[in-house]
């Protein structure tokens, strides 16, 4: 079983829509969770960390459900510039490296 | 520097050749990571340095892959006897303790 699993999409949504991505992780001992954004042929960039209490940054909301071992990202009022691949990322317990999901491709359509 | 710098940005090499990929991390970042990303996949961990030493090299796929960081700053990923399956984007990231990664823009390696 993969450490991190995501629906690869693609998700095609109209501008202004709300879209949600989920991912699941396999190791219950994981402690750090992140969402990264990756534009085509570019490097991944940290979008936001995910905390147990949930956190919000503008139009973006991240949630963590430890009991079910899943992480979600909600994007409200989608913009064309939100089109990218969103990577779910989980730390390897007891180590410093991170596990990345395969990413979910989002295209926001005018 | 202001960000993580990787050179070259693109490398085309013939099967069987030796290549070196360079990473210059953010100044003051003691942790340095190498990842490999194939098309349609997320980045896969290769090796992690804390200072000069390889703290975890469990992600290196085989003994053709080797990485060094002799002075605790710049790192070089070395691939011997390259194979077509080594073609991928090689990403370097650095971090300070307790912070997220900052990635470089990567080296796109193509083995023909």
Structure confidence at residue A92 as a pLDDT band (50, 70, 90): confident
Q: List the structure tokens of B22.
A: 């360079």
Taking 80 as the threshold, does the pLDDT of residue B8 lie above it?
yes
> Token digits for A106?
């989002």
Give A49 to chain B, closest Cα distance, Å: 8
Of A98, A102, A103, the CB nearest to B101: A98
Q: Give A22's Cβ-side CA count (13 Å radius).
A: 5
- Give pLDDT tens digits for B42-95: 999 999 999 888 889 999 999 999 999 999 899 999 999 999 999 999 999 999
CA distance A94 to B44: 18
pLDDT > 90: percent of chain B = 83
- A45 contacts in B (CB within 8 Å)? 103
Which stretch of A22-26, A73-77, A93-97, B16-20 has the lowest confidence by average pLDDT? A93-97
The whole-chain average pLDDT of chain B stands at: 94
- Burial category of A46 from C-beta neighbours within 10 Å (exposed 0-12, middle 13-18, buried 19 and up): middle
Cβ separation B48–A103 shorter than 8 A: no
- The neighbour count for residue A74, using CB atoms within 10 Å, is 16
For residues A106 and A89, what is the distance between their CA atoms, to the nearest angstrom? 17
Task: Count chain A–chain B contacts defined by CB atoms under 8 A.
Answer: 46
């Amino acid at each position: 079983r993969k450490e991190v699993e995501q629906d690869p999409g693609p998700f095609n949504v109209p501008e202004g829509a709300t879209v949600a991505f989920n991912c699941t992780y396999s190791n219950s001992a994981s402690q750090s969770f992140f969402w990264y954004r990756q534009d085509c042929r570019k490097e991944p960039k940290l979008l936001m960390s995910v905390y147990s209490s949930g956190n919000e940054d503008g139009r973006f909301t991240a949630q963590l459900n430890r009991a079910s071992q899943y992480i979600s990202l909600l994007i409200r009022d989608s913009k064309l510039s939100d089109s990218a691949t969103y990577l779910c990322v989980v730390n390897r317990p007891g180590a410093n490296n991170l596990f990345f999901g395969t990413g979910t491709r989002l295209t926001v359509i005018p | 520097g202001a960000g993580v710098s990787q050179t070259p940005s693109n490398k085309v090499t013939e099967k069987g050749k030796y290549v070196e990929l360079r990473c210059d991390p953010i100044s003051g970042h003691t942790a340095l990571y190498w990842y490999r990303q194939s098309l349609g996949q997320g980045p896969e961990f290769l090796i992690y340095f804390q200072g000069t030493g390889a703290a975890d090299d469990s992600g290196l796929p085989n003994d053709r892959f080797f990485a060094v960081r002799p002075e605790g700053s710049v790192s070089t990923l070395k691939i011997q006897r390259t194979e077509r399956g080594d073609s991928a984007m090689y990403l370097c990231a650095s971090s300070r303790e307790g912070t997220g990664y900052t990635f470089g823009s990567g080296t796109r390696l193509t083995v023909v």
